[in-house]
Amino acid sequence: MAKIGFEPLKTLEIVEHADLDERDFDERGNYKFPNAVAPTEAWRFVPQPLLEAKRSGYERVQCSEVDLASAWASALVDET
C-alpha cells in the first residue's frame, strides 16, 4: 500500500530506458507514460497476503521496482 505525493515527475528522467518494455511505446516510438507521481510512503504487509488460487485470473507475483514504477506511471497518466 502506498501514499501518493503531489509533485509531478517526468518518468524518463527517473527510469533507465533499458529497463522499459517495448509495449511502453506507441507505434511512433513515443513513450506512453511520460508523467508520474512518486509515492511518499509505502507499507509492506508482513506476512504478505496470499491471493486465493480458487479465484480465476489471480496469482501471486513478485515485481521489481521498475515494474512497480511503470505500473504507477501508467495508472497516473493524465491523458489531457
Task: Specify if 49 maps to a domain.
Answer: no
10 is a domain residue = yes
Whether the CB-CB separation of 15 and 64 falls below 8 Å is answered with no
Q: Residue 26's pLDDT is what?
A: 92
On whether residue 52 sits in a domain, the answer given is: no
Report the C-alpha gap between 35 and 72 in whole angstroms: 10
Residue scoring higher pLDDT (48 or 7): 7
Domain annotation covers residue 51: no
More confident residue, 76 or 1: 1
| Residue 80 domain flag | no
The tens digit of pLDDT for each residue in 44-79 reads 777 766 665 555 555 555 666 666 666 555 555 555
Structurally, the chain folds into a number of domains equal to: 1
pTM flag (> 0.85): no
DSSP SS3 for 66: helix
**Residue-number span of the structural domain to which 18 is assigned:** 2-44+60-75
